[in-house]
Amino acid sequence: MKLGNIATGDDFYDRQTECADLWRYLANDHVVASGPRRLGKSSILNRLCEQSTERGLLARHVDVQGVESAQAFIDQVSGHFPDASVKGYLAALGKTAKAWLSAVKKVELKGPGGVGGAIELQAGTSQAWHRSATELQTRLTNVPALIFIDEFSVFLQKLLLHDPKEAEALLAWLRAWRVTPGLACRFLFTGSIGLNALLAAHGLSAQFNDCHEYPIGPFKPSAAREMVTAFALRGDCLMRDGVATHLCQRVGWLSPYYLCLLLDQTMQAARDRLDETPSTVPAATQKELIDADVDNAYERLLSSRSRFIHWEERIKRDLTGIDLAFTLRVLTALSKSSDGLTLRQLSARLAKLEPDPDLRAARLQRIVIKLEEEGYIGPPDATGRVAFLSFLLRDYWARNHV
């Protein structure tokens, strides 16, 4: 059971439908896998890479959250697709890879390495990184490779702040590459902050309108219960269905990360409880988790500031002035309501910050979209109310923001 790291092997649970859907879309489109953080998007990319190897396909999981320039981005992608590996892959294309290539499109693989001629850089030719971009595009355009770009929106946000013109040129080049006639490679992008909202804020939405957007959602209740029950058993603990249901209800938003986090704390709470249990209690009974263990674990998590502090830091990093004040006020108001609030109710709580009703409504709408895109709150329900996605985050915020 992984607590924050990429889930691999037996730690990767469920998501068969998502993986099957992404394979189907990648045969025809480039894809943006959208969804709030802590839903396991990176783990899904990693599983697709594992499945790619089984299918004889060349796929690489490229994490770009740590890079801050167009040159570093290109170097990161290029480093995951060294020329020797690409040529060896093309020389040994198996039946599965050839079938994928045929399904994607028919391409003549030219030369001993199977790579076609040079492709002109479509945008940003005055940029210092254009030569590396051209070389990368030339090497991979005719290769049936899968380029999985993880945390792209995190990288893009930093680049937009540092050098907007370079960011725009890089996006234009990537789009021009993706729509190149006869392209054999496929891109899949993910990010832990909302890419659509980020692009819209900078007037760059058209640079990704060629990609199919595939939303990644939380676990279904049945899958969540099965996962926590199975992971508890691996930890030598018995979790009956009623306790598994109680744990899922306390989490609320069935993110695999929060489910595993609460389960881990639940097993620790059970251990502490059983340490005080008289030794006359049978061993089999001592290993059973109960509702009280879940509730004690929940309280422990709320006291663990390090588990949630990054949610605060992101807000203060990204926003300033009145936008920051609006956002903090919205989150604090929502944290005190278990059923959520309507936009009208939120607007009333913001009147002192912005007396003008039209300006207040416009600012509130932008803030709500940002918070939804980045996984703080969910979309409006049937009654028009918005609320925190995670009960854990909601209760943490209520406890620490008066």
Which residues lie closer than 8 Å to 303 by C-beta, 6 or more apart? none
Beta bridge partner(s), residue 351: none
Reading the block at residue 267, the tokens are 């097993």
2, part of any domain: no
* pTM of the shown model: 0.83
pLDDT of residue 117: 38
250, part of any domain: yes
**Domain end position, chosen among 165, 185, 215:** 215
Q: Which amino acid appears at position 170 of this protein?
A: L
| 54 and 186 part of one domain | yes
| 276 and 345 part of one domain | no
Q: pLDDT per position in the chain (402 positions), as tens?
A: 666 677 777 788 889 999 999 999 998 899 999 888 788 898 999 999 989 888 888 999 999 999 999 999 999 999 999 998 888 888 877 666 677 666 665 433 443 344 333 344 444 445 689 999 999 999 998 888 999 999 999 899 999 999 999 999 999 999 999 998 888 899 999 977 778 878 888 999 999 999 999 999 999 999 999 999 999 999 999 999 999 999 999 999 999 999 999 999 999 999 999 887 766 555 555 589 999 999 999 999 998 888 888 888 888 988 899 999 999 999 999 999 989 999 999 999 999 999 999 999 999 999 998 898 888 998 898 899 999 999 999 999 999 886
pLDDT tens digit string along 21-45? 999 999 889 999 988 878 889 899 9
Q: CATH number for the domain including 281?
A: 1.10.8
| 188 and 295 part of one domain | no
375, part of any domain: yes
| 297 and 311 part of one domain | no
| 288 and 314 part of one domain | no
pLDDT of residue 203: 92
| 352 and 371 part of one domain | yes
| 228 and 186 part of one domain | no
72, part of any domain: yes
Helix (H/G/I), strand (E/B), else coil: 279 = coil
149, part of any domain: yes
pLDDT of residue 189: 95
Range of the domain at 98: 9-215
69, part of any domain: yes
pLDDT tens digit string along 157-184? 999 999 999 999 999 999 999 998 888 8
Q: How far apart are CA 27 and CA 76, in angstroms?
A: 24
| 184 and 204 part of one domain | yes
The H-or-E segment that residue 213 falls in is: strand 212-215
| 344 and 227 part of one domain | no
Q: CATH number for the domain including 368?
A: 1.10.10.10
Alpha-carbon Rg for the chain, nearest whole angstrom, is 24
pLDDT of residue 285: 55
1, part of any domain: no
**Domain end position, chosen among 215, 238, 253:** 215
| 57 and 200 part of one domain | yes
CA angle 390, 396, 398 (to 5 degrees): 105
Q: Which amino acid appears at position 165 of this protein?
A: K
Q: CATH number for the domain including 193?
A: 3.40.50.300
Provide the domain count of the chain: 3
Q: Is 110 exposed, middle or buried (0-12, 13-18, 19+ CB in 10 A)?
A: exposed
Q: How far apart are CA 249 and CA 320, in angstroms?
A: 35
DSSP class of residue 92? T
| 299 and 235 part of one domain | yes
**Domain end position, chosen among 167, 195, 215:** 215
Q: How far apart are CA 101 and CA 27, in angstroms?
A: 9
| 169 and 115 part of one domain | yes
